[in-house]
């Protein structure tokens, strides 16, 4: 067999190796979604269940000109409408990553206000224990720094577990339905950020610049 034939075969092997490596690199790159500098894994395991990133986006502040935090919604099954969340069985997760330093008390009050805007009085009474426990978390965490995170998990048979920077901050909230109630802050009828609601539901919001956002206020 000629040396030329060996060279051709060697080239083919090399090209196949390069192509395989390129495919592997692209596959790895596709396992995370970049949201204005914040990366969300496309999949993660919660309570031994593989969850998929349903969507992720940014919550703005100060007249919608300043990035406050990025949020991601993880579910066992993809949804496109907020009403479908209550029909999903299995673990669920909401992950928030701070994009600036935020006073935790102010953040907690804003979440309480958003809850009241999206829950009826009857629903607020039904979830009073969870609301009280959630409020207490921000009383012991004075400030959230840029890059720090809040994770809210719904675990069937256990309840709702809230972590700050990966550490559980309170007792488990036994009211499992409280997760769906909390999610209304971001995907309810009066969400804190309409474009974030669309993003969490896997939809594309119309692109806006700073002047467009300011015009809405």
Residues 113 and 210 in one domain: yes
At 134 the pLDDT is: 87
Q: Is the pLDDT of residue 217 over 50?
A: no
Greater confidence (180 vs 141) lies with 180
Overall pTM surpassing 0.85 (yes/no): no
Residues 196 and 89 in one domain: yes
Residues 45 and 150 in one domain: yes
Please give the tally of structural domains in the chain: 2
Question: What's the average model confidence in pLDDT over 39-59?
Answer: 97
DSSP 190: S
Residues 13 and 76 in one domain: no
Residues 47 and 143 in one domain: yes
Residues 2 and 86 in one domain: no
Residues 109 and 148 in one domain: yes
6-19 as b/e, with b when 16 or more CB fall inside 10 Å? eeeeeeeeeeeeee
Residues 163 and 121 in one domain: yes
Distance, in Å, from the CA atom of 156 to the CA atom of 11, rounded to the nearest integer, reads 54
Average pLDDT of the chain is 85
Residues 101 and 189 in one domain: yes
Question: What's the average model confidence in pLDDT over 6-35?
Answer: 55
Residues 176 and 76 in one domain: yes
* pLDDT tens column, 161-208: 999 999 998 789 999 999 999 999 999 999 999 999 999 999 976 555
Residues of the domain holding 3: 1-30
């Amino acid at each position: 067999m000629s040396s030329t034939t060996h060279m051709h075969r060697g080239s083919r092997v090399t090209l196949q190796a390069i192509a395989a490596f390129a495919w592997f690199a692209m596959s790895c790159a596709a396992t995370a979604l970049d949201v204005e500098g914040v990366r969300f894994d496309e999949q993660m395991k919660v309570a031994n269940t593989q969850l998929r990133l349903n969507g992720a986006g940014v919550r703005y502040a100060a007249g919608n000109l300043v990035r406050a935090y990025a949020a991601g919604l993880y579910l066992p099954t993809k949804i496109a409408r907020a009403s479908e969340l209550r029909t999903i069985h299995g673990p669920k997760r909401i992950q928030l990553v701070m994009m600036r330093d935020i006073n935790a008390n102010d953040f907690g009050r804003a979440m309480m206000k958003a809850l009241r805007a999206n829950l009826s009085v009857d629903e607020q009474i039904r979830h009073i224990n969870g609301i009280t426990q959630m409020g207490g978390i921000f009383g012991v965490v004075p400030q959230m720094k840029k890059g720090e995170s809040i994770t809210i998990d719904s675990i069937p048979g256990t309840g709702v577990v809230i972590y700050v920077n990966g550490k559980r901050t309170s007792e488990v909230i036994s009211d499992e339905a409280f997760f769906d109630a909390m999610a209304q802050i971001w995907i309810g009828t009066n969400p804190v950020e309409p474009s974030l609601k669309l993003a969490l539901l896997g939809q594309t919001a119309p692109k806006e610049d700073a002047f467009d956002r300011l015009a809405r206020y």
